[in-house]
Chains A and B, each alone.
Chain A
Amino acid sequence: MKLRPRALVLALVLFTQGCSRGREATASDHLSWFEDEAQERGLSFQLHSGHQERFHFPEIMCGGGALFDMDSDGDLDAYLVQADDLTRAQDQRRGNQLFENSGQGEFRDISPGSGAQDKGYGMGVAVGDCDQDGDPDLYVTNVGENTLLANQGQGQFLDRSDHSRTKDASWSVSTAFFDFDLDGDLDLFVTNYIYWTLADDMVCQGPLHGFDYCSPKTYNAPAPDTLYRNEGDGVFEDVSRQVGLRTAFGNGLGVVVADFDLDGWPDVFVANDGTMNQLWMNQKGAAFEDEAMARGVAVDDDGRAKAGMGVCVCDLDDDGDEELLVVNLEGESDSYYRNDGDHFSDRTPVVKLARPSRGFTRFGVGLHDFDHDGYMDLYQANGRVVHPPKIVEADPFAEVNLLLRGGPGPRFEAVRPRDGTALPRAATSRAAVFGDVDGDGAIDILVVNRDSPSELLINTVPRRGNSIRLRLQEEVGRASLGAILRGRAGERAIMRTLRSAYSYCAASEAVIHLGLGERTTLDEVEIEWPGGDLETFGSLKAGTTHVLVRGSGQRQE
């Protein structure tokens, strides 16, 4: 792919500056990996935190979004969650925004009249076809009651919160659709942060300044998470207590679903902010048991609970199970938990993530192979939650995001420029949402920023390797969330799970995307569908998106 002319100009300017400072270009330096094209492509969205004089806690935590194919036309549409003024009546707030993709990665705001303009003080969103009509629905988390928006097709949504019985009134944050009891429909997990109302809001003081945001520990009021079981028709029942979720909870922010022990049942990891994490191991759909401590993911390698925000998983060492990566507060490194089968080992220093991550407060996170060299790279969306101990004129919470190039091992190394764009921009970033927006086969990133425009980072990595994309679908047409792909790329055994919910407050494109380097095929492709059915699909060619539908492969016993 050719560099766009503008990207080239910017990159050359930067390269020149780098030389003038005496820095030598290294093999790890790209001119740039991404270019922000949000404005040019019509994705004009600014998250308004509502901050004025008083520091209301949710203002510093909000910022969510989704990339999903709303109208089944094959391209990615965008949904962005708005917050706005907490003290204002709900009907007077700005609503969430829905953007339709023209097919070329150009967007048009179709919010008015779409029914998708929820006006709660928004946090995050999950995408899943919970009523099994073939269209992906939206579940929006708010400070206060959440909203389920049923997709009616043609860009129309209907608020089915009452009907679905999913109006969790807590301060909900990240959320995920998944089929925990393997009955064929999508259930819903909702992380809740703390027990908070406007009346309880506290004021804290920064190290040098006056008012500042408080920590969740100031409130000491962790809220339990919620599990809704789908009764089959988009109506849910809160089964949190019944399945054991009330036995342990913390200040929940991030959530990811994965079959960590490969027993065929999806487990849930919850990243808690300053309290021990939970690892809910699925007891064959009947209950969950928190095994975070026993399996080594409740705390870090020297026994400390970190401030967990975003989370993602991936099989980074090609051993057939998924590792866990949790991103944390400034001063705390990331937590990279290597999956060793019956337990996890915190190996953050070994994969070289301890040093580069420590200087930032990370929220959105994703492991993707942006340059298609066969190794997962890492993107982190950053922004402080309290004032820094120095005076800055601009947004005091703003930080530059981080891009780290992945290699075998795995090992990560920081990329320069630091966020992969030619002109790194500091902002208070929250959700990072991943997907191929422009249909060129590479992963782009939508970054939601507090009180400044969202960024649409179009992948401009030059001389990318080959890649392949796989859509795994149930027979009814919905994404088969939780389906596992296994295959071979030369000597490497690949394992990936189809998911949309990871990062922070985000719903990313539900597709498996693999960089293949020089290879032109992915071989010995096998899909393990939720419930355990195995099908093989042989070798698949790189350079295209394959749609694998349950029942269309060769069934294995």
Chain B
Amino acid sequence: MRIPSAVPWPGIGLVLVVGCGAGAPQPPLPDRLDQVSEPVAELVQEAAEAVRTAPGDAQAWARLAQVYEANLLTSYAETCYRELLALEPESAQWWHRLAVVQAATGAHREALQSMRRSLDLLAYPPSYWKLGTWLLEDGELEAARAVFEEATRKSPRYPGGWAGLARVHLQSDRPEEAIRAIQTVLRSQPDPYARQLLGAAYRQSGRTEAPEAQAAWDTSREPSWPDPWQAQCQSHVAESPLRRARRLQAAGRPEEAVEVLEAVAAGGPDAVRALSILADVHYKEGDTARALAAFERILELEPRNTWTWINISRIHQNAGDLPRAIETLDRAIRLHPDYGTLHATKGQLLFATGQYEAAAQSLHSALDRDDRNVETRTLLGQSLNALGRWEEARGVLLALLDETYPPPQALLALAQAHLQLGELEQAQTHLQRAASLGRVDAQSMDDLRRELEEALAVAGSR
């Protein structure tokens, strides 16, 4: 069958089902299952076969529907949920899931109706959260408020009702009421989503200096409230071979992980990632030679893969073969002379081996290409200290004070540079700040403190 241009599969699935006419309903099945990843295709075929065997079995339809939904084939899931509801029309769970996939496919009005139908059958708390949130997004504040209020009445311990009310209050310029609602959530559980919502309410109320106002994340935090129906659906997510390999590795079954990874590495889009994990598995099993071999295979596929060069260098470094580690980095630098990370990594290696002059050169090269790396700047300051170039070190390290979070090691190194330059007051200031931040080598801190006390005593006696 030829698929018309730009027509996605759902239409075909629908045709197949409708085409079955008055007979037993057949499972919708994409006729291009070969384009779906293998683990998903296997799950689909298995679940569809169960439906074909017992087309009147609600459980079989439920499994197929959830396999489709969990693996993002939402239009097929919708078809299956409809068949399922023909068998179990009073199931709140399937009306709820149907609503969720309808929302995902953009059938917004239908999603609202299905979710209301679900709530008519059962006051399942997450249904309130979803319905209220959808209404809120429509700008239907009063309707959303009614849904969330009902949730707080019927399930006062469910956080979603209170959090939803808080969102309605925020949209209605009532941040104080929002704060009160969120605090109800937080009394029952320390939920990250509720805390970030509280942050928004504090900011809107003008209390921007309060610690609560700082709660916000670069990574989206979705509500983590229990939703057993969602969890049941997610249990049908197909496991990719790479994820399976990671699971096997974590379970202490490295041989099986290697077998899975070798199969993926034999070809296909994930070969490089598989080889990378393979190297990790071998390395963690103590087989450095096979780890290196896996990395070499990556370089055959992608000769310019920078991180592979760095990883090979690290393996040599950890094995104590520093010349080979540096040689590896030099080869990578010849390929990518403008990549600052390579210069920085080489600088770290040289510093660790006490080659401070060469380290400083590499670190300078790194900063010429990317001057924002705080760690590299710190290490350069430390290298210059080690070379006794105190004024240069002071200049490099002082610039780090402009950063929001200068590392304590930089403050310690700066204190040392000041001390050597006879600037005892500044040395003391930075030493104290480094101590207050913690996370510095205690021995270095003590040595420097002692040295400073001696210098202060000498200065005092004069």
Contact = CB atoms under 8 A, between A and B. Distances in A.
Interface residues of A, number: 58
B273 A303 contact: no
Nearest to A242: B402
A303 B216 contact: yes
B79 to A, nearest CB: 14
B37 A390 contact: no
B171 A347 contact: yes
B218 A393 contact: no
Nearest to A357: B137
Contacts of B72: 207-208, 389-390
Interface stretch (B199-207, B227-235, B435-443): B199-207
A199 B335 contact: yes
A359 interface: yes
B372 A246 contact: yes
Given A246-B403, A349-B136, A195 B370 contact: yes
Given A349-B138, A393-B7, A199 B306 contact: yes
B424 interface: no
Contacts of B336: 197, 199
Interface stretch (A125-133, A290-298, A432-440, A505-513): A290-298
A195 B306 CA distance: 14
A69 B206 CA distance: 44
A347 B30 CA distance: 41
Contacts of A199: 304-306, 335-336, 339
Nearest to B163: A302
A186 to B, nearest CB: 25
A359 B221 contact: no
Contacts, number: 162
Interface string B328-343: 0000000110110000
Nearest to B196: A303
Given A199-B335, A241-B402, A276-B218, A302 B139 contact: no
B40 interface: yes
B139 A354 contact: yes
A344 to B, nearest CB: 9
Q: Which of A274, A303, A389 has the most CB of B within 10 A?
A: A303
Given A199-B339, A303-B197, A393-B5, A349 B139 contact: yes
A45 B208 CA distance: 48
Contacts of A209: 35, 37
B190 interface: no
A247 interface: yes
Contacts of A247: 402-404
Nearest to A304: B220
Given A301-B170, A303-B196, A349-B138, A390 B216 contact: no
Contacts of B203: 293-296, 343
Given A200-B306, A224-B372, A393-B5, A343 B335 contact: no
A305 B218 CA distance: 5
Contact of A391 (B5, B8, B170, B213): B8
Contacts of A540: none
Interface in A182-235: 195, 197-200, 203, 205, 207-211, 217, 223-224
Nearest to A208: B36
Interface string A98-138: 00000000000000000000000000000000000000000
A101 B3 CA distance: 42
Interface stretch (B245-253, B264-272, B348-356, B454-462): B264-272
A394 interface: yes
Contact of B200 (A197, A302, A347): A302
B75 interface: yes
A115 B426 CA distance: 54
| B interface, over-half SS | loop
B73 interface: yes
B106 interface: yes
Given A197-B338, A303-B197, A276 B216 contact: yes
A276 B215 CA distance: 12
B167 interface: yes
B81 interface: no
Max chain A CB contacts within 10 Å: which of B208, B214, B268?
Answer: B208
Contacts of B307: 200
Given A208-B37, A303-B199, A275 B218 contact: yes
B6 A198 contact: no
Nearest to B144: A349
A410 B48 CA distance: 49
A355 interface: yes
Contacts of B137: 333, 349, 354-355, 358
Contacts of A241: 399, 402
B32 A391 contact: yes
A541 B261 CA distance: 73
Contacts of B399: 241
Contacts of A224: 372
B385 interface: no
A352 interface: yes
A350 B169 CA distance: 12
B220 A392 contact: no
A153 to B, nearest CB: 36
Interface string A385-406: 0000111111000000000000
Nearest to B199: A303
B128 to A, nearest CB: 17
A198 to B, nearest CB: 7
Nearest to B136: A349
B9 interface: yes
B95 interface: no
A301 B182 CA distance: 14
Contacts of B416: none
B338 A351 contact: no
B269 A342 contact: no
Interface in B175-222: 193, 195-197, 199-200, 203-204, 206, 208, 213-221
A246 to B, nearest CB: 6
Contacts of B30: 391
26 contacts: A195-B370, A199-B304, A205-B269, A205-B270, A207-B71, A207-B72, A208-B36, A209-B37, A217-B219, A246-B372, A276-B216, A293-B208, A296-B200, A296-B204, A300-B200, A301-B167, A301-B171, A304-B220, A305-B219, A346-B170, A349-B139, A349-B141, A355-B139, A390-B9, A392-B8, A394-B5
The 10 closest A-B pairs by CB, nearest first: A303-B196, A210-B269, A389-B72, A354-B137, A294-B208, A299-B216, A394-B6, A390-B8, A303-B216, A304-B220
Given A296-B204, A347-B171, A349-B171, 9 more contacts: A197-B336, A197-B338, A200-B306, A200-B307, A217-B219, A223-B372, A293-B208, A305-B218, A390-B8
